[in-house]
Amino acid sequence: MTARVYVTRPIFDQGVERLKREVHVEVNSDERVLSKSELISHLREADGALTLLTDIINREVLDACPRLKVVANFAVGFNNVDIEAATERGVIVTNTPGVLTETTADFAWTLLMAAARRVVEADRFARAGKFKMWGPKMFLGHDVYGKTLGLIGLGRIGQAVARRASGFNMKVIFHDAEPIPEQVLQDLGVTPAPLEELLRISDFISVHVPLLAETKHLLSDRTFAMMKPTCVVVNTSRGPVVDEKALVRALKNGKIAAAALDVFEREPEIEPELFDIDNVVIAPHIASASHETRLKMCMMAAENLLASLKGNRPPNLVNPEVWGKRRS
Ligand code: DGY
């Protein structure tokens, strides 16, 4: 019998066409996040789901969908899926690592530069017709070249961000809970630092850790207080890594100079006070949003889904422990 796949939101046509060559596909054509009950009603009859990071696949959903064998997430992050629950129930989970690394690193730099040089503020100023005269102290920002960049997390994306820093002649330090091979450190020219030291000496801090219990609110009142008042903080990882209310306090009280955020604690909700602060750049979770990369992510999710449904090990398996006890 042909397997049934549900795609939770409109994706690229090429991805749907690829799936249709092998399975029966239904796509939610509404550009909105489905509620839990809607998700369950669609996934109940499905063998596979192509999900987005906005779909919460928890125990309740998995229990209500006993036929579901694979959840192929269209994202490298998979904190929207309860991996433990999926593994217990024999459900394969996959993600889309690698293809978005460079695009996301480009965007971390976009945010860093925009915040350092106040591009968004200046754009608002110019559009408002306020540019009446050039001024020697107008929109003074912070130099980037030659400064110290602190990377919290030196995985694939952190490393790609580090590579770009050499063009700015920066000193790059990092903190990562996992050991990084010495050769990688040498090639990148980066130096490990205890987290507290990184917080104290960095001019720019860019966050590249997954959302885990240990990384939730890693940036908090306590850690912002350790930073330089000239520090610029960039977050392209996951929103809850930064305590958004503490960030507001840090910006308002001059504990740091600026921030640039692509992700938010209660996405798509954004802490309202952030809107009233000039020295924060706000982007709607678009770090991987290039034409090329989003298409690659889509095709990768589709291939992961198809491989799993054919009984093959998918290329990007998140929960290898599931292998011996997959749902059939
Ligand atoms: C991901 O893939 O996890 C990003 O947050 C969206 O591209």
Q: Is residue 151 part of a domain?
A: yes
Q: For residue 83, which of 221, 210, 237 has the smallest C-alpha distance?
A: 210
Q: Which residue in the list 238, 271, 294, 303 is annotated as catalytic?
A: 238
Looking at residue 266, its pLDDT comes to 97
Asked if residue 163 and residue 58 are part of one domain, the reply reads no
Write the CATH number for 298: 3.40.50.720
Looking at residue 125, its pLDDT comes to 98
Is 238 a known active-site residue?
A: yes
Asked if residue 66 and residue 144 are part of one domain, the reply reads no
Structural domain of 114: 101-282
Mutate which of 288, 294, 316 for ligand 1 pocket (most atoms within 8 A of beta carbon): 288
Distance 99 CA to ligand 1 centre (A): 11
Q: Which residue in the list 121, 285, 294, 303 is annotated as catalytic?
A: 285
Asked if residue 119 and residue 93 are part of one domain, the reply reads no
Asked if residue 209 and residue 300 are part of one domain, the reply reads no
Looking at residue 34, its pLDDT comes to 98
Looking at residue 328, its pLDDT comes to 83
How many domains does the chain divide into? 2
Looking at residue 1, its pLDDT comes to 81
Give the number of the atom of ligand 1 that is nearest the alpha carbon of residue 288. Answer: 7
Distance separating alpha carbons of residues 60 and 130, to the nearest angstrom: 54
Determine which residue's CA is closest to atom 4 belonging to ligand 1.
Answer: 75
Mean pLDDT by 10 residues, the chain (328 residues): 96 98 97 97 98 98 98 98 98 98 98 98 98 98 98 98 98 97 98 98 98 97 98 98 98 98 97 98 98 98 98 98 93
